[in-house]
Structure 1
C-alpha cells in the first residue's frame, strides 16, 4: 500500500512510477473470526515501476510448509517468517524490468527443503533454487526469456523432483537438485501467464495472448527437445486463457477464453471437447483461476459474481452469487470454507 498517498501511476502498466514510498506487509488473520492476529511490515520502498492498472504492488502469492511462511514481493524481496510473524531471513533479487511496465506476478514454488523463484523479465532472466531454512542459493540458471508471469510447478519425474516453467520461448524442465536442464518444448504464446497443472500422467501448458495454445505433455522421464515427438499427447489451438490458469479436476480440464467469461471444458486424457466455448451469464471478465471441490467448479468474476458449476462433461450452473466487490485473485478452498479476496474485503464463505 502507498504510505503517504503517492501517485499510483499506470494505465495498463504504461504510466509513471509511484513517487512516494509503499509499505509491504504480511498479515495473519484468525480463520474462524477474520480478526487480525499479527501484521509484519517487511519493507518500505518506492517502487521503480507502476505495474498494471488492475494489479497491486503485491500480486505474488505467499506459500507455507506449515512451519514458516514464504512471502514474495518480487523486486521488494522474498521473506521467510515464522508463524508469529517474525522474519527469519530475507533475499533481494534486484529490480525486475517487466514488459511495458506490466508489473510482477510469478510466485515461488516449494518442494521439500527447496524454494524456487523464476525471474523472467526484460533484463537477464534466471531461475534460482534456495534452501528454505536459510535462503542460501543452491543453484541458479540463466534463461533466454522475455517477461513471463507463470509460477513454476514441481513434479516427480523419472524418480526425482523436476521444476517445470512455462514461458514464451520454451517450456523448460530442470532437475530440482542440480538445476540441470532436462527437456524443453516450444508452443506457447507471448506474455505467458497461466501456470501449468498436472495429472493423468500429463502436464497441461496453456497461454492465450494474441493467439491460443494448449499442450498436453507426457513428462515422466522426458529428455531433450520434445517438439515433434510422441511426448506431445495432444494440442489445442483455440479459446485459451491469457491471465487465469486452468483447472484440472479428475479427468476434466476447464479454461477460459482470454480474460473473458467464456469457458471450455475438455476431456483431459484425450483432448476431446465436452462443451464450449460457453458464455457465462453474469461473468463478463475473469482474472481469477477456477477452482474445484465436492463435485463443483467455482468461478469468480471481476464484477463480483461467482458461479458454481456441476463438475462433469455437461454445462450445468448450480448457483449464481454476487457480492458488492470485485475478484481478481483466485479463490482458496480449505475444508468446507471458500475464501475470496476482493478488492475491498476478504470473505469466508462456509456452510
Structure 2
C-alpha cells in the first residue's frame, strides 16, 4: 500500500527522469549514502563537511516524526532519504499458524508481540523533511521476537540510484522504484536467531548482484540475487550459526570477492560463481561488525564474550590462510560487539563491546595510537561511528559526540538532543542525518 500527493508523485517522477538521464557512476555514488556503512562500506563519507556544532535549535534544517519503530540506518540518494520502519497496528491474527509466532517455536527471550505490523519503506525529502511517499511492503505479525533494545526494522536498505532494496529478514526483501512502487519481492523463510535477539544483517549491493547473509540457528546460507529480478544466481550453504554481520565485496588482483565474517570461519567467495577463494579461522560468537577494506588490507572483528580482530593482506590470501603470513596482525582486546568500526586514512577506530570507550590503531601494523578512551556522556551504545574529513560522529542516548580523527584522542563537541539513537549517523554533503527513536533529523549550516 502506497500513499502520496499528486505534487509528491510529480516530484518523485522528476527525480527518476533526471537520474536516469545522468546515469550511474562511482562518482555519483560517492555523493550519496547508498547502503549500510556508506559508499565505501567503511563508515566514511567520501565527500562532505557537515556542522560540528548543532542542537534542537542550532543548525537544525528540519526534524520529521517517523511512525513506528525502526533502528535501521537510512540511506540517501539524490533528494530522497529512505527509511525503514515497522508500525504496530491494533489487529491480531485470527489464528496462530506456521506463518506467525508461537512460544514453543521461537524460544523467546526478548520482546514479542501478538499484533500485526506494517513493514514500511518511507521516502523523505532531503531538503525540507517532507514525507514524499510511504509504501507498506508487508502487513503481518513478526516471525521473530527481538531484543528488548532492538526493532523489527533494523536491516538497512540499499540502492543503486535506480532501484531500492528494503530487507526485513524473515519478512523478506522488497525491490521498489523511487516512486515507491513494488517491483518484486522474495521470501527466504523464517529465521531462528540465537536467544531470539532479532534480526539485523543488511543486504550488500554491488554491480548486478545483491547479497544476503542468512546466518541463524537453522540452515544458514549466502545468497547472490539478480538485482533486477530477485532470482537466485547462486546460493551457498554455510556451517554457521547466528551472526548479524553483512556481506562485503572487494575487487583485488583482478578478482571480485564476496567476504563474510562469522564464528566458524571468515570466507571469501567468487563474486560470479560463489567458488571458495580463501578461508580463515572465525571470530567470537554473535558476530555483528562487517568486514572493512582499505589499501589492500581487510579487517574483520567481533567482541561478544571475547575480543578478536584480524588484519588480512588480500594479495596473499588463498586457500586456508589461518596460519600464514596473509594474516598480518591480530588484536585481542576491546573490540566491538554491536558497533561497526570506521576505517579512514590508514587508521581504524572501534568501540569496546557496546560501551563508550574508543580505540584507534594504525591499519598497517596494528600499532596503538590510543586505547580505551572514555566517551564522556556515553555508557551504552548500539550505533556505529561515522567519519568525514578530520572527525568522527558518534550517536547514543540523547547525545552526539564529535571526535577528532587522528593519532590523538580529543572530544571536539558534545551535543544533547531530545531523542535516542541506535541508527548510525549519515553524512551527505554539508548535511548530517540522524534517525532517532521518534524523529528523523537533518542538520546543516545555513
TM-score (norm 2): 0.76
Look up the match of 1:4. Answer: 90
Look up the match of 1:308. Answer: 402
Q: Secondary structure at the match of 1:323?
A: strand
Q: Verify: 1:247 aligned to 2:333, yes or no.
A: no
Summarize the Cα distance change of 1:16–1:308 in structure 2 as closer, same or farther, 3 Å threshold: closer
1:1-351 aligned at under 5 Å gives the runs 1-4=87-90, 14-15=109-110, 17-220=112-315, 222-301=317-396, 303-351=397-445
> Deviation at 1:22?
0.7
> Deviation at 1:161?
1.4
Summarize the Cα distance change of 1:13–1:205 in structure 2 as closer, same or farther, 3 Å threshold: farther
Q: Contact 1:9–1:18 at 8 Å: present in 2 too?
A: no
Summarize the Cα distance change of 1:333–1:218 in structure 2 as closer, same or farther, 3 Å threshold: same
Q: Contact 1:9–1:15 at 8 Å: present in 2 too?
A: no
Q: Secondary structure at the match of 2:418?
A: coil
- Distance in 2, Cα, partners of 1:20 & 1:317: 43
- Distance in 1, Cα, partners of 2:316 & 2:203: 24
> Deviation at 1:141?
0.5
- Distance in 2, Cα, partners of 1:313 & 1:59: 33
Q: Contact 2:303–2:336 at 8 Å: present in 1 too?
A: yes
Structure 2: runs of 5+ lacking an equivalent: 1-86, 93-100
Q: Secondary structure at the match of 2:179?
A: coil
Structure 1: runs of 5+ lacking an equivalent: none
> Deviation at 1:16?
6.5
TM-score (norm 1): 0.96
As a proportion of its length, which structure holds more helix?
Answer: 2
Q: Contact 2:111–2:146 at 8 Å: present in 1 too?
A: no
- Distance in 2, Cα, partners of 1:130 & 1:158: 24
- Distance in 1, Cα, partners of 2:274 & 2:184: 23
Q: Secondary structure at the match of 2:145?
A: coil
Larger mean Cα displacement after TM superposition, 104-113 or 180-189: 180-189
Q: Contact 2:144–2:170 at 8 Å: present in 1 too?
A: no
